[in-house]
Structure formats: C-alpha cells, structure tokens
Structure 1
Amino acid sequence: MKHKLFYIFFLLTLSISYAQSSMVKIEADTTNIRIGEQFEYKITISETENVIIPKLGNLKGLEVIDSLKIDTINSKLIKKYKLTGFDSGAFYIPRQQIFIKNQAYLTDSLLINVTTVAIDTTKIKKFPIKGIKGEPYQFDDFKIYVYWALAILLIAISTLYFALKRSDNSTSKTLIPKLAPYQEALRNLKLLDEKLLWQNNKTKAYYSELTDIVRNYIERELNVPALEQTTNELVESLIDFSNSKSIVTDKETIKKLKNLLQQSDLVKFAKSKPMAHEIEADRNTTTHIINNLKPSTTEENTETSYSKPVVIVQKPEIKNPNTITKLLLITVTLLIVTLISFGIYKAISLSNSIKQPVENVQ
C-alpha cells in the first residue's frame, strides 16, 4: 500500500513539473563565457494573455546589460536579456517566477561558467613606472592678470585723452578799463567797416550790427532802454527827452535815426536790398547820429565822465587733440598691448620648458 502511494505522489510531481516545463522554458546561447563577455538569456512562455514577467533578479556574479522588448512568435511570448559577468567562477541564474492567468510557474535554474583570459607573463614586455609630468600653463592661468592689465590700460588711455582734451580748470581774472559809450561806438563802427559784410553780400548782418551799435550807444549814453524798444517807441522816447531838454539833439537827427532804423527793419524782415550808395549813406548817418545825440550838460552822466573797470573772466580754452596726438595715443596703446601679449607668450613658453617630466623610476 505504501509503495502505491509513493508511486502516485511521484507521478503527480512529475506531471506538475512537466506541465510547468511545457509552459515556461529558458535558454541561453552559451553557458561558458570569458570575463566581460556578453551572452543572451531567453525565457519562452507558451501563452500570450494575462502573463506577468517580473524583473530579473537575485543574480550573484552576473549583471543585466540590457532587457529587450517582449516578442510574440507563434502564440508564444519571448523575453530576452543581455547578461555578462566580471568575476570568474560558476554562477547560477536562479529560478524565475512567471505568472500566467494568476498562476505561478517557475523556470529552471541555469549554471553559467565565467572564466578568465590566460595571460603568459613571460612574453609580455614590462615598462617602468612613469613619473609625474608637469602640466603646461593655459590661458586660464593668466586671464585674471590680462583682465587687470587691460583695465589699467583703459584707465591710462582715458586719463591721457581727457588730460590732453581739457586744459587746466583754473580761471584768471583781468581788470580791463571799460570804454566810454561814445568811444565804444566809434570803435565798433571801425570794426564793422573792417568786416566788409555788405561788400560780401551780407547786408542783413551789416544792418543788424549797425543798428545794434546805435541802440547800445543810446542806451549807455542817454540811459534809454533802446535795445528793448521798437523803432517807433525809441523815436517817441527821444522826442520826449528832447522836449524836456534831457538830451541835446535836434529834430533832423531824430528823423535820420528813424529812417535808419526803418531801413534796417526792411532789410532784416522784408528782405530789402539797398544800393551801395544807400548803404554808405546810412553808414555816414550813423556817425552823424552818434555825434549829435548827447545828454544834457546839466545832467550828470557817470559813464561819460569816467568808465569803471570791468572784470573779464577768461575761461580756459578746450584743447582738442590734433591728428599727431591721436596717432601717438594709438601707437602707445598698440605698443602696450604688444608688450603685454609678448610677456604672456614668453611666460607660457618658459613655463612649458621648465616643467619637464620627472625621470622614470626603474
């Protein structure tokens, strides 16, 4: 009876093992590899639905290089792995558990032999141990000095440029005696004649300066705001002063002044072009007006009796660098840049020549 039960149990176990082996199979393209050599490990499952393949694990001495995608061939699932080993010896790929329709199936284990590569040390040439070799200098070792040199160079050039462009900021004060109104008017008329404005077709500028000389003389000599008044206002003011005996003049002089100012207005605003003899006549009229417009002798005129000195502040002239100065600046700049570049080049060359490798240790 006991023998029958044993045979029945043995047959059941054998049938279960056969069923599992028929559902799940493993295969390797080789079971003997050298260190670092790859081989393919394949699991074949005779079912395509409701299959769960866990991650390949529990590998000792072996490593998974790649896990390929699952293929379906002839109603079978095929899962492939790329494995390798980096230690010599015999290593097992343990049994893997596969779930098919919520039922667990176990694969067979597989033995993989990893062998080393035989090396004949008697035929290998031995080399001495290499010494420590000095590392050559690179641009990064000097770039901070280059940046500082360029910054200093830029500051030096800027300072030199503005020093040449601007002179000393100090100002000087000079006391120059101020001319009397009559003397100033005659001097300005002489300077106007020397400019030859109307002779060079600058009639408008000529009449503008001519009437300004007359108005400035009247304002200083007679204390009349001639520069701010129109022609009619100025003429009326002079008539009033003449009637009140505040100035010494006659009606003919006032009439000539009115004609002169009106002629100037026509030239400046109506673009009138008087003839040469008319311009010369107006010039002579101006002298006549200045000679015949005087303050009353009973009225004190401080500007006529004497002239106070005027303080003239002389501003420093702005000196613009000429072409020679600019060329000199450019030459100096290029020279400094060349010297800096040459110094860096020599430093790198010297460092590379000095840093020799240490002698080989035998």
Structure 2
Amino acid sequence: MRILVLTREFPPHVVGGMAYHLGYLYSEMAQRGHEVTVLAGVCEQAREAAGDLVDDAISVQPVRYGSFHGHHLRYPLALWRRLRSVDLSRFDVAIAHTQLPYDLPLPTITKYHDCPRAERPFFRREFSLSVKLADSLLDPTRRVVERRSLTRTDHAIFNSERCRQAWADHYTFETPSTVIHNGVDRSMFYPRNPQRDDQYVLFVGDSERKGLSAVRSYARIGSLPVVLVGDTEVPEPNVETLGRVSQERLASLYSDAVATIHPAKFEAFGNVVLESLSCGTPVVTTADCGASELLTPATGVVTDDVAAGVETARDLDSEACVALASDHTWKRVATETLERTRSVLD
C-alpha cells in the first residue's frame, strides 16, 4: 500500500507526544513493506528529537509553516500549497493527523489525537489578557476547520471513546468512525530494578487539565508523598518536583511507584497510563481520561477520589498491569490501522 501521511509534526521535528506516536506507527507500517511518504510540518517551536525512531524506508518531506501558534490554519495552508506540486495519483490513501478543511482527490482517513474544543477552557486559564483576546478572535476559524475536517474525510479514527464523545459533544457528524487506542513502547517501558527505598505515588504532568489541583489536594491529605515529573513547581511539603526527565529515568520512576495518579479533567488518551502499566505499576485516573477505558479492576482505579484510589491500588497486581500493557503494542495499533484503511479502500 502507498500511504501519504499528512501531519503538523513528525520526527525529528517534535512539538509534543503526537510525533512519537507517528514515528512508532509508521515505522511499523514501513517494516511490513508499505510505502510511506510523510509531508511533515516544521515550525519554529519544534525541537529535534527521536530521529532514530523512524524507519529509514520512510520518506519524510518537510512542510514549513512558521509558528506553531495558529497551526490549525498555518499548516493546512502551507500543505495546500505543497500539494499542488505532488502527484497524488501515485498514492492509495492519505492519512491526516491534523484537521484539514478541504477535500483531497484520494481516499482520506483522519486521526483525531485530541479535542481542542474540550481542551481550550483549560489552556485559556493560563493566557494573559492580550493572548485571550487574540485567542477569541481566532477561535471562529478553529471551529470552521474542525467542523469541515469531520465532513471532508472518508473515515475518522479517534484514540479513545472519550475523545470521540468529546467531538460529538461539540459537532454533529455522520462520518464513519473507529476507536483505535494508542500503544506503548515495551522496549523502553518495562519493570526496572528498584532505584528508591521510599514509597511514593507518581504524577506526570504540569497542567490543570491533567489534574494538578487534585494532585496538590492529595499531597496535603494523602498517605504517601508525591513525586512530580513536569515543568511546574508545586509549593507543597509532600511533593518532590523533578522537572523533565529522560525516558529511562521515567521508566524507573514508574517502576518504583506504588501507583501513578492521573486525575485528568480531560485527556483524549493519556499515554502515561499505558507507560505506567507497562512498568508494572497500577494507575489511579478519572473517567475523563481516555485510557481509563483500558483499565481492569486488577490494574487500576477509575475515580475522582485520588486518596481512596491510591489505597485500593496498593493491593493491585503488578503482573496483570504488565500483561494488559503487552496487549497494546504499536504493532497492534499498526495492524488495526491497516485493517481499517483496507476497509475504507474496499
């Protein structure tokens, strides 16, 4: 199959977690003999990372679109100009990972990794007054792009049922859709030998959307200290803030924790859930985290009461956590995506 991938980021130009997701996914497809060409957005805010993640057989062609701010317009416009010089007839299918407000002359699948409409209220809390004003002026264009993307694609893939429902809460659409959950890199996230003697719970994040206030509340009343990984400072005596850490150290922190807490207000998926399970550590999260759909009573607790959830998680089965994560590899994601792609083409 000849696959054209359209995305605002792709390794080695990384803005967020989506780039890693696509690096794993399309490397799996390339290793199965599919021809993969990526028209990858490059913006000023991108950092170079994960270049060794991408299979050498993948053709990555940069599409420069300036700043990440306003990427919902900047990348589709830059891509539209670029597509005029691309022979689209040589591809069997296009898979977009950015909302595109226009039709393409070949079968098109769009994957939705997040729901900007559900996330926007949390982002706005952190904006200055001038940025809020600019955001309000731009928001109608986002709505147009989001709405049109749902009607211009032949099939929509959401990374969780929670993500699909969030889009349905804001837009009416009849486009056929599927849920394909994210995967985890088992070669990186696996149980490590103990590095710490003290007991703690782990939180990976730095925003209210991911439940920072609930973490602070737990730190004041909970039975265990909190180790926090993320770009934020929490002035609580029961919190140890580490900032950003390497993937290797993060895996060790997961492995040593009693539980990973992720009291998300909205999270389309939440890769930390699978990463923690893959390291043998149960998770306490909310129903507003898409990855909560994967948890079983033996591997995690879905609740708004973090303290009670942690106490329950103490008795959960580490081996069951690893077994569950082992069912959600990137190979499985690639298989499910290819099966859905073939059904769309049929």
Q: Same fold (TM over 0.5)?
A: no
Which TM class, normalised by the smaller chain length? under 0.3
- In the superposition, the TM-score normalised over structure 2's length comes to 0.18
Q: Structure 1 or 2: larger helix share?
A: 1
- In the superposition, the TM-score normalised over structure 1's length comes to 0.17
